[in-house]
Amino acid sequence: MEKSNRVGILAGGNWILDFIKMIDVYPNENALANILSQNSGNGGAPFNVLKAIRKMDFSIPLEGVGVLGDDEHGDDILDQCERLGLETRQMKRLKGVETSFTDVMTVCSTGKRTFFHHRGANALLEEDDFDFEVSKAKFFHLGYLLLLDNLDRIQSDGLSGAAKVLRRAKEAGMYTSADIVSEQSDRYTEVIPSSLPFIDFLFINELEAHNLTGIQLLDADNVFLISNGFKAAKKILDMGVLSWVVIHFPNGALALNKEGHQILQPCIKMPRLLVKGTVGAGDAFAAGVLAGMHEGWEMKASLQLGVTVAAASLMDNTASEAILPWMECLQLGNKYGYRKL
């Protein structure tokens, strides 16, 4: 199907339930911390992105692809998808397997998070679970690379399963985007590169960009080095990304395309008292950018939407519950202003 005839966003990869615990302090080993409150919410790139776009109130067809366990957590995810109006014909249930979940420990005073993840059904997601012929979507978003065991495996031809999935999406006439999980490992340069030539838009944070390129992006005071950020984006483009590399960091985001066009977008100065948590903020940002791009916006406007949606997401300790209709998200920038970079 031609791109001009396609509409909608298909998102696949990690479908997760987050169990979020607000704690007073992150403990050392053998020490105790107090859980001050707890709740649950959506997690994983496709779930977070699709829910965010729906809450932004765009009239965009949305569909998911992934695997769930045949358990109560899987039932919960599908129930949420039905309430959100997400197409789930490519969501598969696996008997004898648990739906993936994450315990998220968030320190109340800082918002800093630590994730304890049970890989569960997501580890069994395979190339054949993706059917791009039945989807009319214009965009395909895959995440998270490095957290999809079968798809991360490098095969005898040098390509990962994720690379082959993304290649098939391109062959079907879709724009492709992808996100990476932040992990402490040396797998970035082993797993990620084979996927890059099949990705139109890569979303990545400063830690992931450093791990992929080796370029130092934070100074001694943990301040993001903007010039180095553009150097890292250029190196990733040279590794194969087809259109844009988008790097988001605590104070904003930058984007660089193949033609060398640079965009810098600061984040909103959200009042500290309004910030309840940062779980899913990166996915909220990606959702805003993807929604804008789907609607034909320029990257500059899409980045602005991305940072405002991410700002809205901070007002709840779940990934998506606080996200507002897109015009109200943009109004947050007018209300609170943007940081200086």
Please report, for the chain, the start and end positions of each structural domain, with discontinuous segments joined by +. 3-15+43-101+120-336
Q: What is the mean pLDDT of residues 212-216?
A: 98
Q: What is the mean pLDDT of residues 114-127?
A: 96
Q: Evaluate if residue 256 carries a pLDDT over 90.
A: yes
**How does the average pLDDT of the chain come out, rounded?**
96
Q: Evaluate if residue 2 carries a pLDDT over 80.
A: no
Q: Evaluate if residue 277 carries a pLDDT over 90.
A: no
Model pTM score: 0.95
Q: Evaluate if residue 113 carries a pLDDT over 90.
A: no
With pLDDT > 70 as the criterion, what percentage of the chain qualifies?
A: 100
Q: Evaluate if residue 60 carries a pLDDT over 80.
A: yes
Query: 3-state DSSP call for residue 326?
Result: helix
Contact present, 306 and 179 (Cβ < 8 Å): no
Give the Cβ contact number of residue 87 at 10 Å: 18
Question: Rg of the chain over CA atoms, in angstroms?
Answer: 19
Positive or negative CA dihedral for 109, 35, 143, 291?
A: negative
State how far the Cα of 9 lies from the Cα of 60, in Å rounded to an integer: 7
The two most distant CA atoms of the chain are separated, in Å, by: 58
Q: Evaluate if residue 307 carries a pLDDT over 80.
A: yes
Query: 3-state DSSP call for residue 59?
Result: coil
Confidence category of residue 79, pLDDT binned at 50, 70, 90: very high
Q: What is the mean pLDDT of residues 183-195?
A: 95
State how far the Cα of 47 lies from the Cα of 49, in Å rounded to an integer: 6
Q: Evaluate if residue 112 carries a pLDDT over 90.
A: no
Give whole-number Cα distances, 270 to 37, 231, 308, 332, 333, in Å.
22, 29, 10, 8, 9
In CATH, which of 3.40.1190.20, 3.30.200.20, 3.30.70.1150, 3.40.50.300 is domain 3-15+43-101+120-336?
3.40.1190.20
pLDDT of residue 80: 97
Backbone angles phi, psi at 106, to 5 degrees: -115, 125
pLDDT of residue 3: 76
